[in-house]
């Protein structure tokens, strides 16, 4: 197995330049059944197999209830699959850990800590001395554009700012994988596009592996190298679409790019077909 | 499997009671002093109390005073609380007064009230009324405050007058919270009743309790404790059933939890 | 909130109390109530001031406060401890829940004679009664606060590397603070009430005892003094707790 992780040395690198990168995440015939109240059980996802290469930005896209968040939680180790196995770097996932850092739609910031305290949390947890942790955190806070807000508490911040703190907090403990669960879903459209751009800028620096859950087709196409389209519950993989668009991606250019538009239309059709197929089997 | 679990959780309080009585029994036998009768001794003394006419009349009189005090409180406190909830002026007038009165134990007013109104039923009922009013006012206030403005606007658009809106929107909407206040009130009524009887010893369950203490009838003391405890448990359980059926539609709120629901 | 708004609030708060005192004075002045039953407010407050500088009265307040704090502290330690344990550990939960359901509606004051028999007539029985009464609201508030901690907060901490055994203190406890402090506020008021009542029922010192002693000798002024004192104490303690709450919860959104 070729284990060269690619780093962006060349401008406008295309997806086809990324050849046999190491498998960072392997999802092997994973299914998840939930017990709802009483004797009912709900099959959320069914027999999902998926490989995600190191350094890839992969979106999981699908209608509500298709189990995409569940899949993310399984990779994160927050939920154990009822069937199948998920692995990171070849090791089976048994629980959460700093190698897979989550960013949630609800931000999940610690309300009893200010911005600096939140971002420092992971570093302090790993035993980094206070002064060093603080210095690293301040750099990160500046990188996500919140310089000057270090002593603010989450309740004093807007939604977009909270999500930036959440991203900084996760990046602080340097996970190999970023797990993002509809992170911009609770934000207004304008903030959403700004954060999408900022996320790509941050990601370009060290090209972590990203697993990004969303129900927005244009968001998925804009951000990712690959889009995994899922069916309605029980969720299966309908199709995986490779997004062959050059990086770095600029929204203004991309919106007018016919290739981008074709991807969006194609994938929207896939999702529509999913719905109709379920109604008329 | 699920059915077994459901039965187990319903029966759990009974197991708890049995467990507590068992611990009591063991501790009493271990300590082996006259002043700490065992659980069985205490239980055996209960029928003697319940069949004694004098005692029974005392206990029923206590309950009657409690009922009257509670009813009066409910009739007066709920409207006051609701009005405070809907009118900032009314609220800012009464709030400071209530905050000052809150930490004063109403049963402590017994001596003063007895000076004014004598030692009869009136003073005891008044104290219960005062003690119970506060939580009911507070909860009615909170419940009324939390009524969604948009619901009232809809009512006004339908042509409802202010009084109609109060009765047909605010009251039902605040009902779950009001009933929580009543539950607190019920618990407080029992406590105030027993305490005022312990302080102003004339009649009632608290009086029986301390008389037995003075006369070193320790079995009776502990038997009375069980009886009063049982009254509390039964009244609370009965009220919870009533509350559940009155507000089936509401979601549970845990602002000021009184017990596990 | 700026200083101006704060002082307006304070003034608005005092106004109704001032009105009540004025009403009180009016009742006495216009003869609606005989002085032997309702002494004029001035007299009561003068007496209160006199008492406050006398060592004896301060000793009584001290006795009451000692029992109050001792009982309250025990209730906080036990209540928060058991509440947290029950929220995170199913085995503890299975035992605690039914026991609380049975004991919560029981008027703990009914246990007072038993406590007197077992622990004597001095501090211990009163402290235990205070603790028993204040325990339940604190326990329940802690339990509910801890059970409703947002799952994603715990997940975020775990992903950041927090081991399972530290989650209770690093995430659940801080996140449950608003609930815990609400329970403590209720527990504090209950402590004030219970200690006073216990001292009224049997005691040789303390504010409650002063009230009963004055009643026996028909000294109405001396009866009002302890009542007003406990009310003031309650207000002060509540204010202190509120200040503590504001500091501890400075990051939390308004509830």
- Which chain A residues contact residue C155 at CB under 8 A? 76, 78, 96, 102, 104, 108
Is residue B28 in some structural domain?
no
Question: Residue A112's closest chain C neighbor by CA?
Answer: C251
C114 vs B: CB within 8 A: yes
pLDDT of residue A6: 38
pLDDT of residue A19: 42
C197 vs B: CB within 8 A: yes
Interatomic CA distance for residues C103 and C98, integer angstroms: 9
Is C107 close to B218, i.e. CB distance below 8 A?
no
CB A235 within 8 A of CB A278: no
Q: How many CB pairs under 8 A join B and C?
A: 175
Is A125 close to C162, i.e. CB distance below 8 A?
yes
- Which chain C residues contact residue A97 at CB under 8 A? 158-159, 161
Q: Average pLDDT in the C227-236 region? A: 83
**Closest CA–CA distance from residue C200 to any residue of chain A (Å):** 42
Out of C152, C155, C251, closest to residue A113 by CB: C251
**Closest CA–CA distance from residue C6 to any residue of chain B (Å):** 14
Top-confidence range, A23-37, A119-133, B56-70: A119-133
Write out pLDDT tens, residues B219-251.
888 888 888 888 888 998 898 888 888 877 776
Is residue B260 in some structural domain?
no
From residue C91, give the alpha-carbon distance in Å to each of B19, B176, C94, C96.
Answer: 16, 31, 5, 9
Interatomic CA distance for residues A230 and A270, integer angstroms: 9
- Restricting to C residues 135-164, those with a Cβ less than 8 Å away from any Cβ of B are 136-137, 140-141, 143-144, 148
pLDDT of residue A4: 36
- pLDDT above 90 covers a percentage of chain A that reads 63
Is residue B258 in some structural domain?
no
- Restricting to C residues 68-97, those with a Cβ less than 8 Å away from any Cβ of B are 94, 97
Boundaries of domain holding B229: 38-246
Interatomic CA distance for residues C128 and A189, integer angstroms: 59
Is B12 close to C220, i.e. CB distance below 8 A?
no
Out of A106, A114, A122, closest to residue C152 by CB: A106
Count of domains forming chain B: 1
Place of tokens 């972590």: A208
Q: Average pLDDT in the A176-192 region? A: 93
**Closest CA–CA distance from residue C79 to any residue of chain A (Å):** 22
Token readout for C88 is 């995170």
Write out pLDDT tens, residues B132-188.
998 899 889 988 888 888 888 888 888 888 888 888 888 888 888 899 889 888 888
pLDDT of residue A14: 43
pLDDT of residue B255: 52
Stretch among A39-43, A157-161, C14-18, C170-174 having the lowest mean pLDDT: C14-18
Write out pLDDT tens, residues B29-66.
888 777 788 888 888 888 888 888 888 888 888 888 89
Interatomic CA distance for residues B48 and A33, integer angstroms: 60
Higher pLDDT, C2 or B88: B88
**Closest CA–CA distance from residue A150 to any residue of chain C (Å):** 13
Is residue B33 in some structural domain?
no
Please give the mean pLDDT across all residues of chain A. 86
pLDDT of residue C6: 59
CATH number where B135 lies: 1.10.3720.10
How far, in whole angstroms, is CA A16 from its chain's centroid? 21
Out of C94, C107, C137, closest to residue B232 by CB: C107
pLDDT of residue C3: 59
Token readout for A277 is 């197929």
Interatomic CA distance for residues A4 and B68, integer angstroms: 84
Token readout for C11 is 């003034």
- Split at pLDDT 50, 70, 90, the class of C255 is low
Question: Residue B104's closest chain C neighbor by CA?
Answer: C231
**Angle between the A115-125 and A130-143 helix axes, to the nearest 10 degrees?**
130
Is C156 close to A76, i.e. CB distance below 8 A?
no
Write out pLDDT tens, residues C158-206.
999 999 889 999 999 999 999 999 899 889 988 888 898 889 888 788 8
Interatomic CA distance for residues C33 and A68, integer angstroms: 76
Interatomic CA distance for residues A229 and B107, integer angstroms: 69
Enumerate the β-bridge partners of residue A58: A211, A226
- Which chain C residues contact residue B114 at CB under 8 A? 215
- Restricting to C residues 204-243, those with a Cβ less than 8 Å away from any Cβ of B are 208, 211-212, 214-215, 218, 220, 223-224, 227, 230-231, 233-235, 238
Q: Average pLDDT in the B14-20 region? A: 86
pLDDT of residue A8: 37
A101 vs C: CB within 8 A: yes
- Split at pLDDT 50, 70, 90, the class of B215 is confident
Tell me the domain boundaries of chain C: 1-37, 39-248
Element at A228 (helix H, strand E)? strand A226-230
- Which chain B residues contact residue C103 at CB under 8 A? 20
Question: Residue A109's closest chain C neighbor by CA?
Answer: C153
Phi, psi of B160 (to 5 degrees): -80, 140
Out of A97, A102, A111, closest to residue C161 by CB: A97
C14 vs B: CB within 8 A: yes
Beta-carbon contacts of residue B45 (< 8 Å; ≥ 6 apart) = B219, B220, B222, B223
Phi, psi of A244 (to 5 degrees): -95, 70
Is residue B132 in some structural domain?
yes
Topology adopted by domain C39-248:
MetI-like fold (1.10.3720)
| Chain B adjacent subunits, 3+ CB pairs under 8 A | C
Is A111 close to C162, i.e. CB distance below 8 A?
no
Is residue B30 in some structural domain?
no
Question: Residue C255's closest chain A neighbor by CA?
Answer: A155
- Which chain B residues contact residue C195 at CB under 8 A? none
């Amino acid at each position: 197995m070729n284990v060269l992780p690619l780093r962006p040395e060349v401008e406008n690198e295309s997806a086809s330049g990324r050849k046999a990168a190491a498998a960072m995440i392997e999802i092997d015939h994973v299914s998840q059944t939930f017990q709802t109240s009483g004797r009912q059980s709900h099959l959320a996802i069914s027999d999902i197999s998926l490989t995600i290469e190191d350094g890839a930005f992969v979106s999981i896209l699908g209608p509500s209830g298709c189990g995409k968040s569940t899949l993310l939680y399984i990779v994160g180790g927050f939920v154990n699959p009822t069937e199948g196995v998920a692995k990171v770097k070849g090791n089976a996932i048994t629980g959460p850990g700093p190698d897979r850092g989550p960013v949630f739609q609800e931000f999940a910031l610690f309300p009893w800590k200010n911005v600096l305290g939140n971002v420092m949390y992971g570093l302090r947890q790993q035993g980094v001395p206070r002064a060093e942790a603080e210095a690293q955190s301040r750099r990160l806070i500046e990188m996500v554009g919140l310089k000057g807000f270090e002593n603010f508490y989450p309740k004093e911040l807007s939604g977009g700012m909270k999500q930036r703190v959440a991203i900084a907090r996760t990046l602080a403990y340097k996970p190999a994988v970023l797990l993002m669960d509809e992170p911009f879903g609770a934000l207004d459209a304008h903030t959403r596009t700004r954060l999408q751009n900022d996320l790509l800028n941050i990601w370009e620096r060290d090209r972590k592996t990203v697993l990004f859950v969303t129900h927005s087709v244009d968001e998925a196409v804009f951000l990712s190298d690959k889009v995994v389209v899922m069916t309605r519950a029980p969720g299966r993989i309908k199709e995986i679409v490779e997004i062959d668009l050059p990086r770095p991606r600029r929204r203004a250019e991309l919106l007018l790019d016919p290739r981008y538009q074709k991807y969006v239309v194609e994938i929207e059709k896939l999702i529509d077909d999913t719905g109709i197929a379920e109604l008329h089997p | 499997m699920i059915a077994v679990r459901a039965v187990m959780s319903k029966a759990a309080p009974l197991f708890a009671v049995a467990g507590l009585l068992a611990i009591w029994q063991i501790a009493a036998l271990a300590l082996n002093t006259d002043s700490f009768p065992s659980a069985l001794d205490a239980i055996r003394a209960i029928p003697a109390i319940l069949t004694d006419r004098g005692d029974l009349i005392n206990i029923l009189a206590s309950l009657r005073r409690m009922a009257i005090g509670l009813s009066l409180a409910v009739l007066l406190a709920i409207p006051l609380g609701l009005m405070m909830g809907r009118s900032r002026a009314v609220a800012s007038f009464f709030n400071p007064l209530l905050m000052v009165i809150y930490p004063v134990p109403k049963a402590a007013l017994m001596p003063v009230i007895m000076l004014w109104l004598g030692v009869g039923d009136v003073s005891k009922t008044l104290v219960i009324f005062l003690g119970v009013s506060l939580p009911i006012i507070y909860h009615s206030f909170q419940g009324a405050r939390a009524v969604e403005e948009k619901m009232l606007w809809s009512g006004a658009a339908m042509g409802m007058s202010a009084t109609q809106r109060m009765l047909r929107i605010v009251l039902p909407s605040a009902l779950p919270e009001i009933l929580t206040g009543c539950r607190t009130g019920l618990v407080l009524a029992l406590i105030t009743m027993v305490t005022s009887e312990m302080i102003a010893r004339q009649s009632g369950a608290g009086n029986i309790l301390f008389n037995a203490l003075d006369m070193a009838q320790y079995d009776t003391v502990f038997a009375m404790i069980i009886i009063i405890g049982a009254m509390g448990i039964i009244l609370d359980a009965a009220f919870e059933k009533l509350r559940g059926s009155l507000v089936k539609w509401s979601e549970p709120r845990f602002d000021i939890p009184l017990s596990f629901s | 909130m700026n200083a101006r708004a704060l002082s307006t609030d304070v003034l608005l708060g005092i106004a109704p109390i001032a009105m009540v005192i004025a009403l009180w004075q009016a009742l006495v002045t216009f003869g609606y109530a005989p002085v032997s039953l309702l002494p004029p407010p001035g007299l009561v407050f003068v007496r209160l001031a006199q008492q406050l500088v006398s060592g004896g009265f301060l000793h009584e307040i001290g006795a009451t406060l000692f029992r109050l704090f001792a009982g309250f502290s025990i209730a906080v330690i036990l209540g928060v401890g058991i509440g947290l344990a029950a929220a995170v550990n199913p085995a503890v939960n299975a035992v605690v829940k039914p026991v609380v359901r049975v004991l919560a509606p029981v008027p703990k004051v009914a246990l007072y004679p038993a406590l007197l028999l077992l622990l004597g007539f001095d501090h211990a029985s009163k402290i235990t009664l205070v603790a028993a009464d204040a325990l339940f609201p604190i326990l329940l508030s802690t339990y509910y606060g801890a059970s409703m901690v947002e799952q994603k907060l715990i997940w975020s901490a775990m992903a950041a590397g927090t081991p399972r055994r530290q989650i209770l203190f690093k995430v659940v406890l801080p996140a449950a603070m608003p609930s815990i402090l609400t329970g403590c506020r209720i527990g504090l008021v209950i402590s004030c009430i219970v200690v006073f009542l216990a001292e009224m029922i049997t005691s040789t010192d303390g504010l409650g005892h002063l009230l009963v002693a004055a009643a026996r000798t028909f000294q109405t002024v001396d009866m009002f003094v302890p009542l007003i004192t406990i009310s003031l104490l309650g207000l002060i303690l509540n204010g202190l707790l509120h200040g503590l709450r504001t500091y501890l919860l400075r990051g939390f959104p308004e509830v």
